[in-house]
A and B are shown apart, each in its own frame.
Chain A
Amino acid sequence: MEIDPLIFRLSIFILSIFVGYYVVWSVTPSLHTPLMSVTNAISSVIIVGAIIAGLSGNSESVFNTSSFFGFLAIALAAINIFGGFLVTQRMLAMYKKKKKDKH
């Protein structure tokens, strides 16, 4: 009997939870705020679903109810992606060591 592909996806999911568990425990507490903003940005990879939805209209009508929701989702996810990564970058740039090599 063949294995349902769902089982493979479930395996990836469960293993990723464990990877996440160990990776996140090793994040230093002082970077917990950047952790939240970067997880925010990467969870917006949901934009791939939004793009498929947005492109689901046919050539005569780009906008139908379904693709319209897709376009809205694209805009929301894009706010998060750009906003999330850039604000993380801005925060991380501020973390500095004691000024030894300056001057």
Chain B
Amino acid sequence: MISANLSAIFYLVSGVLFILALRGLSSPETSRQGNLFGILGMIIAVTVTFLSTGNFSTGFLFVLIFILIGGSIGAFIAYRIPMTAMPELVAGFHSLVGLAAVFVAISAFLNPEAFNLGFPGNIKLGSLIEMSIGAAVGAITFSGSVIAFLKLQGIMSGSPITFKGQHPLNAVILISIVVLIYLLCSTQNSNLFWILLAVSFLIGFLLIIPIGGADMPVVISMLNSYSGWAAAGIGFTLENTALIITGALVGSSGAILSYIMCKGMNRSFFNVILGGFGATEEDTSNSSSKEQRPVKSGNADDAAFLMKNASSVIIVPGYGMAVAQAQHALREMVDTLKKNDIKVSYAIHPVAGRMPGHMNVLLAEANVPYDEVFELEEINNDFANADVAFVIGANDVTNPVAKTDPQSPIYGMPVLDVEKCKSVLFVKRSLSPGYAGIDNDLFYKENTLMLFADAKKMTEDITKNL
């Protein structure tokens, strides 16, 4: 058994190691070492907890058994999961953090003596406030992440689910959570605790259903943030420095990612959260006009010819590439291009894919060196000097309308200046509009060649023709 002061110092050490873990991610070279710091921090935190309880009875054995069960499930998932399923996995993991926070809060509420928080029915006021906030945020994280998971997995439709009076209902529920916490703390009535949990689960569910599939990058980041705040809430209850530091880190990390994602779509956070992109816009007027506009379409042979005669090619991947699992085929095509001394780089829009950095991971999986992959600001000026832009599975993020038409719902969104290339190859299955529900002007440009096919098959065919 070690003293409370000594264990507090060790918890601080593990908190610092977690900071270093995130710090490592500033570049791919230091990132692996950073991850090791994180693992070390976790080992220290767990070991110190064992030592400070000094309880190595049968209970300890069961703790080890449960760690082993959870650990093997986690390890199994980590090795088996395909990289394209990373958004679902992260959403699923968030839900587990949320649920674990809820369970710890329940346990502390039922048996406060074990945590030095007072007695059932007479829990210290401060602890009770922290506990109920932690439990409420944890519950919201859990049910929100489950919905996000179902939407990403395709079990639930990705389209926004909206109904009349949705926003007032949510507002009433959010206010009732605050009232419940207040009543719980003033009366210590355990029924109120269960009602609080139920209502929090409900609001997590209601908050996420109106948000559509392509807004998932914001949702996942937001839930990431929530899981951090839930952990911090529990950290205050347990008076544990490691948890408080980690909760604050994760909370701010998720908040920053949400901000970056919202900026990538030029939408306010509230606009995304309140949901229903495109639900109000778009009548039939412009869908009738688009029928008449001519589109040039080509086949793999034409595309190969254009690329063979180019000296530089920029690839613009999007969610469609992930769906078609085309990243490996794409890399092979690029290898062939490079053999012909053609310069190739990749342009990634901040909200391409279903989570922050989604495209980068897929390209890394396909062995694309990360120094050939560029962010929007880094590469946008290069389109004017490039010969061919190869758009694979992206749509709205290339739409020039965002720069020209103030009426458009995506006006002001930063887009890749694909149309400035000498020619544009656009791989797409049909002319259907993207997520924002608007027509892409790029389809009808003089220098655009549409390649109507599955992204993977088209890429393979082009490689054969090169």
B253: Cβ under 8 A from any A Cβ: yes
Number of B residues with CB within 8 Å of any CB on chain A:
117
B242: Cβ under 8 A from any A Cβ: yes
Known: A27-B22, A32-B360, A90-B78. A46 touches B101 (CB 8 A): yes
By beta carbon, the residue of chain A nearest B39 is A85
B189: Cβ under 8 A from any A Cβ: no
By beta carbon, the residue of chain B nearest A73 is B103
CB pair A16 B248 closer than 8 Å: yes
Residues of B within 8 A of A87 (CB): 77-78, 81, 86, 89
Which one of B90, B242, B350 lies within 8 Å of A36 (CB-CB)? B90
Residues of B within 8 A of A77 (CB): 70, 96-97, 100
Known: A23-B22, A86-B75. A66 touches B360 (CB 8 A): no
Cβ distance A67 to chain B, nearest Cβ, rounded Å: 7
CB pair A96 B367 closer than 8 Å: yes
Chief secondary structure at chain A's binding surface:
helix
Residues of A within 8 A of B100 (CB): 44, 46-47, 50, 73, 76-77, 80
Interface residue tally on A, bucketed by range: 35 or more
CB pair B114 A52 closer than 8 Å: yes
Cβ distance A57 to chain B, nearest Cβ, rounded Å: 6
Residues of B within 8 A of A57 (CB): 59
CB pair A97 B42 closer than 8 Å: no
CB pair A40 B236 closer than 8 Å: no
Residues of A within 8 A of B57 (CB): 59, 62
Residues of A within 8 A of B241 (CB): 9, 12
Some 23 contacts from A to B, beta carbons below 8 A apart, are A9-B236, A9-B239, A12-B244, A19-B19, A20-B19, A24-B22, A25-B256, A34-B25, A34-B357, A39-B254, A42-B246, A56-B115, A75-B66, A76-B100, A77-B70, A77-B100, A78-B66, A78-B74, A82-B71, A84-B78, A92-B28, A92-B31, A97-B371
Q: Using CB atoms and an 8 Å cutoff, list the residues of chain B in contact with chain A.
A: 11, 14-15, 18-19, 21-23, 25-28, 31-32, 34-35, 38-39, 41-42, 45-46, 48-50, 53, 55, 57-60, 62-63, 66-75, 77-79, 81, 83, 86, 89-90, 93-94, 96-97, 99-101, 103-104, 106-108, 110-111, 113-115, 126, 220-221, 224, 227-228, 231-232, 234-254, 256-257, 260, 348, 350, 355-358, 360-361, 364-365, 367, 369-373, 375
Known: A35-B357, A88-B35. 19 other contacts (CB 8 A): A24-B257, A29-B357, A34-B357, A37-B86, A40-B227, A43-B228, A45-B42, A48-B240, A49-B243, A51-B46, A56-B114, A63-B62, A66-B106, A75-B66, A75-B67, A76-B103, A78-B69, A80-B74, A96-B364
